[in-house]
């Protein structure tokens, strides 16, 4: 058979991206955890026989997929390629060899053509519970954060390790959910394998070597061309964020050179005593993502397109936390990495990167239980309910920020209905937060309000995983800051932005999630955009008048129309 042409190889490359997207969608449809089904906190990818990532699913998060790019190499090293066989399935939740914390389970499946190992499929999902203290920052070291699963087989030659499943079931609060998620992860890899083998039969392939060389060579050349078109230079970036007991300083030095961009985190705060530390693999994932978004956004993610972005950090800093540092909430710091990179990149490539946004997800987990001081209703039950929510993203050089939209993670906000079905939870309020987006020529995205409680007969603890309480998103190029996070009891008593806190029967938690920052001076904003913001309730009359200078006539016309219910 003749060697496939470049056109044929391009078709195969596109087909591989389609295969891994079907892999990811299968995981969404079959997963048990709401974090996967509703929020899309997952990743999926296909790799060559050497463990190099060839294609990733569009569905998923950068923290997962870019971290998972390194994971298959650990599986090959730990298991040994010569011991792998058809029907094998491996897994781990090792924070340093997976995606940064124990709540992510990575499953890797070797793929064979006949008896020849030709590649791997891998996927990751965030599980709601992995035992230990539960999802939160309160652990003193990684051992308290849940069950540790080293790189190991969960199935050999198609036979599932029932002993391993028994151990897993015995160490978590909702064993059916966890085991169901593991089966879903293995199942989506199996679907990827079927589609890959069908593609290989269609094109008459016996291995992936030629298409792998095509993908990696072209990706590397395209990425290097983008980097080499930039003016060489160096700039520093800095961001201060809340931390746990004390503020955290993230510092980066960005250097654009021939054929590479260096990203050095020397000077960043040291490891924290609480679980907000970040393994280097997760820092690399988000730093690479930030640079690719700004410099090579249309080049697909794979091993070669990521390689020119070199990320380093001294061991012992909070962005290169060594074992056994607690890392459960590594996303609280890790999601701030891109905006810190952009603080430096804006000095080298002005007019390219957005203003700061909310950054980390506005997550919280409710641990619910029947109240002990009174007879519980018949349907009372213990439950762990994790919900993902977002503040606003930062304004862009030519567009407003996005409301209640997660950047950089891309994780979706979970619907109220799905959250309330997961346990005895009531969401009393969920709406956009007016005036939370920073003012500017382009306005920052709005945060949101949430008010949550438990159904009658239940008490609950809330594990808050928030930031931007004391250090809101900073505006860029004259733009205003976004609104800070606020969390309080229903009576107004302030609560901490991080940590596990108890609520009595009937108690509620009121949260105001942060807004993204503005870009450019507010006086430069188009008056038509200001009028639209006021009509939609994105800003109040006071902000329209005092910040943007909207005329009394315009304000009166818009507010009068709103009272009449007229379209504006």
The predicted structure's pLDDT at residue 376: 67
Pairing type for strands 53-56 and 116-126 reads unpaired
Do 454 and 544 belong together in one domain? no
Q: Give, in order, the Cα–Cα distances in Å from 15 to each of 8, 10, 57, 164, 397.
A: 10, 8, 11, 35, 34
Do 376 and 494 belong together in one domain? yes
Range of the domain at 184: 6-220
- Alpha-carbon radius of gyration of the chain: 24
Do 156 and 193 belong together in one domain? yes
Do 487 and 546 belong together in one domain? no
Do 471 and 502 belong together in one domain? yes
Euclidean distance between CA atoms 471 and 62, whole angstroms = 24
The predicted structure's pLDDT at residue 567: 41
Domain-located, residue 174: yes
Asked if 117 and 110 count as a contact pair (C-beta separation under 8 A), the reply is: yes
The predicted structure's pLDDT at residue 182: 97
Asked if 548 and 530 count as a contact pair (C-beta separation under 8 A), the reply is: yes
Do 421 and 537 belong together in one domain? no
The predicted structure's pLDDT at residue 2: 59
Euclidean distance between CA atoms 9 and 94, whole angstroms = 35
How many CB atoms are located within 10 Å of the residue 206 CB? 11
Do 37 and 163 belong together in one domain? yes
The answer, as to whether pTM is greater than 0.85, is: yes
Do 505 and 533 belong together in one domain? no
B/e letters for 59-97, b = 16+ CB within 10 Å, e = fewer, are bbbbbbbbbbbbbbbbbbeebeeeebeeebbbbbbbbbb
Positions of the chain with pLDDT under 70? 1-2, 375-376, 561-568
The predicted structure's pLDDT at residue 564: 43
Q: Which residues contact 522 (CB under 8 A, 6 or more apart)?
A: 439, 440, 441, 478, 479, 480, 547, 548
Q: Which of 184, 200, 220 is the last residue of a domain?
A: 220
Do 165 and 196 belong together in one domain? yes
* pLDDT tens digits along 511-551: 999 999 999 999 999 999 999 999 999 999 999 999 999 88
Query: Could you tell me how many residues make up the chain?
Result: 568
């Amino acid at each position: 058979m003749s060697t496939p042409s470049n056109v044929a190889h391009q078709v195969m490359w596109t087909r591989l991206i389609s295969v891994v997207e079907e892999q990811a969608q299968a995981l969404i449809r079959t997963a048990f955890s709401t974090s996967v089904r509703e929020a899309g906190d997952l990743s999926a990818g296909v790799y060559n026989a050497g463990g190099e990532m060839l294609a990733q699913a569009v569905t998923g998060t950068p923290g997962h997929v870019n971290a998972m790019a390194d994971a298959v190499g650990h599986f090959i090293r730990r298991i040994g390629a010569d011991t792998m066989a058809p029907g094998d399935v491996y897994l781990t939740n090792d924070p340093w060899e997976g995606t940064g914390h124990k709540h992510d389970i990575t499953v890797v499946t070797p793929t064979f053509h006949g008896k020849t190992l030709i590649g791997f499929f891998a996927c990751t999902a965030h599980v709601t519970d992995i035992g230990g203290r539960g999802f939160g920052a309160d652990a003193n070291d990684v051992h308290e954060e849940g069950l540790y699963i080293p790189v190991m087989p969960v199935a050999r030659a198609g036979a599932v390790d029932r002993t391993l499943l028994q151990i897993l079931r015995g160490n978590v609060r909702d064993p059916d959910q966890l085991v169901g998620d593991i089966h879903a992860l293995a199942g989506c890899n199996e679907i990827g394998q079927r589609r890959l083998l069908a593609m290989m039969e269609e094109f008459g392939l016996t291995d992936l070597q030629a298409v792998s060389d095509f993908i990696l060579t072209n990706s590397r050349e395209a990425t290097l061309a983008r980097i080499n078109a930039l003016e060489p230079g160096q700039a520093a970036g800095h961001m201060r964020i809340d931390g746990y007991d004390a503020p955290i300083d993230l510092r980066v030095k960005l250097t654009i050179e021939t054929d590479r961009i260096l990203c050095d985190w020397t000077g960043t705060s040291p490891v924290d005593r609480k679980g907000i530390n970040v393994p280097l693999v997760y820092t690399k994932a988000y730093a690479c993502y930030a640079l690719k978004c700004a410099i090579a956004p249309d080049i697909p993610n794979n091993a070669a397109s990521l390689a020119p972005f070199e990320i380093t950090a001294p061991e012992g800093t909070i962005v290169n936390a060594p074992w056994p540092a607690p890392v459960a909430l590594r996303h609280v710091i890790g999601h701030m990495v891109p905006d810190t990179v952009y603080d430096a990149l804006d000095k080298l490539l002005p007019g390219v990167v957005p203003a700061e946004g909310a950054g980390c997800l506005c997550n919280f987990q409710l641990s619910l239980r029947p109240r002990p001081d009174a007879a519980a209703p018949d349907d009372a039950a213990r439950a762990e309910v994790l919900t993902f929510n977002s503040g606003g993203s930062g304004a862009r050089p030519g567009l407003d920020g996005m409301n209640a939209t997660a950047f950089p993670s891309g994780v979706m906000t979970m619907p109220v209905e799905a959250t309330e079905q997961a346990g005895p939870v009531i969401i009393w309020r969920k709406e956009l937060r007016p005036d939370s987006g920073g003012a500017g020529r382009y306005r920052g995205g709005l945060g949101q309000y949430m008010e949550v409680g438990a159904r009658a007969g239940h008490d609950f603890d809330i594990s808050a995983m928030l930031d931007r309480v004391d250090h809101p998103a900073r505006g860029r190029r004259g733009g205003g800051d976004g609104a800070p996070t606020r969390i309080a009891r229903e009576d107004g008593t302030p609560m901490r932005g991080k940590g596990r806190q108890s609520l009595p029967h009937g108690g509620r938690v009121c949260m105001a999630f942060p807004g993204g920052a503005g870009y450019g001076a507010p006086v430069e904003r188009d008056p038509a955009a200001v009028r639209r913001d006021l009509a939609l309730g994105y800003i109040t009359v006071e902000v329209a008048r005092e910040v943007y200078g909207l005329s009394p006539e315009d304000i009166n016309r818009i507010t009068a129309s709103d009272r009449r219910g007229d379209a504006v």
